[in-house]
Chains A and B, each alone.
Chain A
Amino acid sequence: MVTTSATEKLLRIEDLKLHFNITQGVVQAVDGVDFELDNNSSVVILGESGCGKSSLAKAILRLLPRNAGTYSGKVWFGGQDVMQLDDEAFRRNVRWVGMSMVPQAALNSLNPVVRIGEQVAEPVMVHHGLKKDEAWGMARRMFQHVGVPDDFLIRYPFELSGGMRQRSALAMALVTLPNLIILDEPTSALDLLTQANIFNVLKRLKDEFGISYILITHDIATSSELAQNVAVMYAGQMVEISDAKRFFTKPLHPYSQKLMASVPRLHGNDELEFITGTPPSLLNPPTGCRFKDRCPSRFDKCDEDPPLFIRDGIKVRCWLYEENA
């Protein structure tokens, strides 16, 4: 477990870049991302498919695919600059130990021929050097925390329902007692009631263990369940970083505004809007603001690259918020 003093940020990312080389060129999946995360807090990263949000998770955990090209920037985790570590030191001291991940479609990320208990116990045996029975004890404790009955430990993944499998994947991420868990679309394949249940579990774990979360999703309505801070990603860049209260009532960036207006609601009478056009290709992103072609409030300045402007503590990448404007 990484220890951090109270004043320090748990995670600080500066100008993180992750590009992929493909035959047609370079895909700029993560292109200069900055954000911070406090201890025992949570940030939601919102974005459409193909905006680079899953690549961001991979870049933070340094789970790079073989065709990764540029991988640069600074990542401080618990006061330590983890980009300086070599791969082995990163594996030993950071991944699983300090931060772990619940992957997208956790249902399919479990090994079908290994009993659930063994899979959940394995990370503690590898990373904390626990003996097998101690590790199984740990796994049993985690199962209680996430709400899976004890006797499920000896079952195989196909014997569990979707919700139970998702909980098992969560128990696996939790078993090494990390400070940070990255959740990549944790409930998108689950039913409504199961989804609500999993979010209850996540909230409880946050209170009990003081864990922080990075929740990566495209589902704005359910993301509000876990949001303290919100970061909106578009075409490989952060376009707005805000706190949940202000974001859900009054987003600043035109893209965030459009996105919020497209969320279906149970009650109320507002007409839904949609965003015309498609997100730009990350292969050759447009110069200037990347949202300009779909933006209703485009003006001359948008052809230049907007920096992140800070307005009342909210960071927004849009020329509309330039101070002298």
Chain B
Amino acid sequence: MTEEPKILAEVRVEGQQHIGENVLDVQDLKVWFELRRFGFARTGFVHAVDGVTFQLKRGEAIAIVGESGCGKSSLMKTILGLNEITDGDIYYNDMHLNEMDKKTLRWYRSTQIGYVQQDPYGALPPFMTVRRILEEPLVVAGFNDKDKRLEQIRQVMKEVRLIPVDDYLNKFPHQISGGQQQRVVIARALIQAPEIIVADEPVSMLDASVRVEVLKLMRALQENYNISFIYITHDLSTVRYFSEYIFVMYAGRFAEKAKQHDLLTNPKHPYTYALLTATSEPEYENSLGFKEVPPGEPPSLVKPPKGCRFHPRCKYAIAGVCDSEVPPDFHVEEGHEVACWLYDERYEEPDFSE
């Protein structure tokens, strides 16, 4: 599939007509990695993503929150088309990602979806200037007019506030600060005018004073260009400033899906509650007492626990249910789903304040 590369200003107008439509539809996605011994004997699977369903609408930002090793990066890479899908489906607009041929997949990866890496310095080639870094994707996409390329680069740099543009065009990554490096990475993700941008912990390597600036910038881009964002993080406190929906992931599955405000003020899953209580607010009272933390560590994804994967660490676990049956998604209120047996009609809902 070949088409003329898009001009940023046109995208802005065009995207507005399609707000609210599904851009990405992920159905019961499974991504397993084979474990082999000596290269051939199959010894098991890492169940990195194990039955994940969600939709991403145009112009919407969602956050996927989870600890390291919960499968959020595998999920992200699969959406970027870098991992093979073991089972389940991913639809991009009307296209089935599973069945894309190589050429289409390449088009999808290079022009339809952008990626903002966690470590900006590691993500930028040290021997290229900012201009070359931003020019390369355009060359690959067949943007042949040199002046037009430069025009697009200038516009995108203005958009991410690398102003005045001429000060930065010919600098190398090591000559600019961390926040500016991250903005170059965002500019690179944006320059193809993608429909989706996946941001993997985009602010965790930055200083506190710069973090907010980058989050606000991404928010502005999302609103101006109707780009859909998938924001992957382990830090719940930054989520409030960025996303409409939060999906909490634990051991390869979504534990809870809710609107941002509902999840932060009224968490339903015991794991979400534990995450929220463990998040510190800058208040001096914190130093006076201890925090309540569930015992143990996240399970191995090679042999995840039966039933609910959180049950060995959960103090509300019901014997005979949580340890044997996989909880379905219970619908607790509008747009709020939780995979926890406590919300089945047969049982009593937990009271976290006790």
Give residues in A with beta carbon < 8 Å to B: 42, 48-49, 161-163, 191-197, 199-200, 203-204, 218-228, 244-245, 247-249, 258-260, 262-267, 272-275, 278
B223 at the interface (CB under 8 A from A): no
Stretch from B1-9, B111-119, B163-171, B205-213 forming part of the interface with A: B205-213
Interface of B is mostly: helix
A262 touching B211, Cβ below 8 Å: yes
User: Which residue from chain A places its CB closest to the CB of B204 in the assembled complex?
Assistant: A188
Known A224-B280, A274-B212; 4 more pairs at CB < 8 Å: A221-B237, A225-B287, A262-B208, A274-B213
Inter-chain CA distance A163–B67, complex, in Å, is 12
Interface string of B275-297 (1 = CB under 8 A from A): 11111111110110011011001
With known contacts A264-B240, A274-B216, A224–B283 Cβ distance under 8 A: yes
Chain B hits for A222, CB < 8 A: 280
Would you mind naming 16 contact pairs between A and B with Cβ atoms under 8 Å apart?
A: A191-B67, A193-B67, A196-B277, A196-B278, A200-B291, A203-B290, A221-B280, A223-B282, A224-B287, A248-B282, A248-B284, A258-B209, A262-B208, A265-B282, A266-B236, A266-B281
Inter-chain CA distance A204–B241, complex, in Å, is 34
B19 at the interface (CB under 8 A from A): no
Chain B hits for A272, CB < 8 A: 212, 215-216, 241
Interface string of B188-214 (1 = CB under 8 A from A): 000000000000000000011111110
Partner of A265, one of B237, B286, B287: B237
Q: Which residues 264-280 of B sit at the A interface, judged by CB distance below 8 A?
A: 264-265, 274-280
A-B pair number, CB within 8 angstroms: 122
Nearest Cβ on chain B to A187's Cβ, whole angstroms: 10
Inter-chain CA distance A199–B237, complex, in Å, is 18
User: Which residue from chain A places its CB closest to the CB of B296 in the assembled complex?
Assistant: A193
Chain A hits for B211, CB < 8 A: 262, 264, 274
User: Which residue from chain A places its CB closest to the CB of B276 in the assembled complex?
Assistant: A266
Contact count band on B: 35 or more
Chain A hits for B336, CB < 8 A: none
B287 touching A228, Cβ below 8 Å: yes
CB-based closest 4 A-B pairs = A196-B278, A244-B284, A191-B67, A275-B209
Inter-chain CA distance A147–B352, complex, in Å, is 26
B16 at the interface (CB under 8 A from A): no
Chain A hits for B291, CB < 8 A: 196, 199-200, 225
B87 at the interface (CB under 8 A from A): no
Chain A hits for B283, CB < 8 A: 224, 248
User: Which residue from chain A places its CB closest to the CB of B238 in the assembled complex?
Assistant: A264
Inter-chain CA distance A249–B212, complex, in Å, is 20
User: Which residue from chain B places its CB closest to the CB of A272 in the assembled complex?
Assistant: B212
A224 touching B284, Cβ below 8 Å: yes
B177 at the interface (CB under 8 A from A): yes
Chain A hits for B274, CB < 8 A: 193
B297 touching A161, Cβ below 8 Å: yes
Nearest Cβ on chain B to A157's Cβ, whole angstroms: 16
Inter-chain CA distance A219–B211, complex, in Å, is 11
Chain A hits for B177, CB < 8 A: 278
With known contacts A224-B284, A225-B280, A274–B210 Cβ distance under 8 A: yes
B235 at the interface (CB under 8 A from A): yes
Partner of A191, one of B216, B234, B280, B281: B234
User: Which residue from chain B places its CB closest to the CB of A189 in the assembled complex?
Assistant: B68
Inter-chain CA distance A95–B280, complex, in Å, is 32
Nearest Cβ on chain A to B198's Cβ, whole angstroms: 21
Nearest Cβ on chain A to B163's Cβ, whole angstroms: 12
With known contacts A163-B297, A267-B264, A193–B212 Cβ distance under 8 A: no
A193 touching B290, Cβ below 8 Å: no
B279 touching A192, Cβ below 8 Å: yes
Inter-chain CA distance A274–B209, complex, in Å, is 5
Partner of B287, one of A227, A274, A275, A278: A227
Partner of B212, one of A161, A191, A262, A278: A262
A259 touching B67, Cβ below 8 Å: no
With known contacts A262-B209, A264-B237, A193–B294 Cβ distance under 8 A: yes
Nearest Cβ on chain B to A312's Cβ, whole angstroms: 16
Inter-chain CA distance A245–B67, complex, in Å, is 31
A244 touching B287, Cβ below 8 Å: yes
A49 touching B265, Cβ below 8 Å: no
B282 touching A221, Cβ below 8 Å: yes
Chain A hits for B279, CB < 8 A: 192, 221, 266
Partner of A193, one of B264, B275, B282: B275
User: Which residue from chain A places its CB closest to the CB of B213 in the assembled complex?
Assistant: A274
User: Which residue from chain A places its CB closest to the CB of B236 in the assembled complex?
Assistant: A266
Chain A hits for B240, CB < 8 A: 264-266
Inter-chain CA distance A222–B275, complex, in Å, is 14
User: Which residue from chain A places its CB closest to the CB of B180 in the assembled complex?
Assistant: A278
B208 touching A218, Cβ below 8 Å: yes
Choose among B179, B236, B265, B286 the residue with the greatest number of A CB atoms under 10 Å from its CB: B286
A200 touching B290, Cβ below 8 Å: yes
Chain A hits for B286, CB < 8 A: 224-225, 227
Chain A hits for B275, CB < 8 A: 192-193
Chain A hits for B235, CB < 8 A: 192, 264
Interface string of B291-324 (1 = CB under 8 A from A): 1011001000000000000000000000000000
